[in-house]
């Protein structure tokens, strides 16, 4: 079986390839000749993941899964949420996004939040959604240099370190993306 992971990111592809059952040939967007930027016009993380998976399935007629992730902060009514990557503007700059979030969190007592990853699988037979969530809190300052995005200011529940202070191996055992991927892989093995 051939399955496309709707990504151009070679590192993300390699990470997922190591988890996928061996009977599945995992392809990237580059592998199928999809070089265009798939616009994420959804109003939710679920919609964006589905838009990407559906686009690839309909245009290339091959089974596909796509993921989308957002940081949802309780005291900000779930923001930045679906706009996490472009929270501080279309330039999608992580440092600017963190600066904006920390500014908006000034004086807030409730610093709880969660990372949410949604994976949308689209085949000729079905459309299935898998969710991975990690709850935690937003720190008041950056800590750590591993990871990317909001990792330096997100401390997962039960930990004293931010995602950016954890090793890649530690983070990948507990992360939102890992939880959603586990569900997808269990489904594909079934």
Written as one string, the DSSP assignment of the chain is -EEEE----HHHHHHHHTTS-TTSEEE-TTTTT--S------SSHHHHHHHHHHHHHHHH-S-EEEEEEEEEEGGGTT-BGGGGGGTT-TT--HHHHHHHHHHHHTT-S--EEEEEEEEEEE-SS-EEEEEEEEEEEE-SS---SSSSTTGGGEEETT-SS-GGGS-HHHHHHH-HHHHHHHHHHHHHH-
Active-site residue, 68 included: yes
pLDDT at 92 exceeding the cut of 90: no
Q: What's the whole-number mean pLDDT along residues 84-92?
A: 91
pLDDT at 14 exceeding the cut of 90: no
Band the pLDDT of 48: cuts 50, 70, 90.
Answer: very high
The mean of the pLDDT values for the chain is 93
Domains and CATH numbers, the chain: 2-189 (3.90.950.10)
Band the pLDDT of 15: cuts 50, 70, 90.
Answer: confident
Q: What is the pLDDT of residues 96-108, one digit of tens each?
A: 999 999 999 999 9
Give the pLDDT score at 21.
Answer: 83
Residues 67, 68, 151, 186: which is the catalytic one? 68
């Amino acid at each position: 079986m051939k399955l496309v992971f709707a990504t151009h990111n070679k590192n993300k592809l390699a990470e997922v390839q190591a988890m996928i059952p061996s009977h599945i040939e995992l392809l990237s967007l580059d592998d199928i000749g999809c070089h265009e930027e798939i616009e994420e016009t959804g109003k939710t993380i679920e919609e964006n993941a589905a838009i990407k998976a559906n686009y690839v399935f309909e245009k290339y007629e091959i089974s596909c899964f796509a993921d989308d992730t957002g940081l949802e902060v309780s005291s900000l009514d779930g923001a930045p949420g679906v706009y996490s990557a472009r929270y501080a503007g279309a330039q999608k700059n992580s440092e600017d996004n963190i600066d904006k979030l920390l500014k908006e969190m000034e004086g807030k007592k409730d610093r709880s939040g969660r990372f949410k990853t949604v994976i949308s699988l689209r085949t000729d037979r079905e459309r299935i959604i898998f969710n991975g969530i990690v709850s935690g809190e937003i720190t008041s300052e950056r800590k750590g240099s591993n990871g990317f995005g909001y990792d330096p200011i997100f401390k997962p529940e039960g930990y004293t370190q931010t995602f950016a202070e954890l090793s890649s191996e530690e983070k990948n055992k507990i992360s939102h993306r890992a939880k959603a991927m586990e569900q997808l892989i269990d489904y594909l093995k079934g």
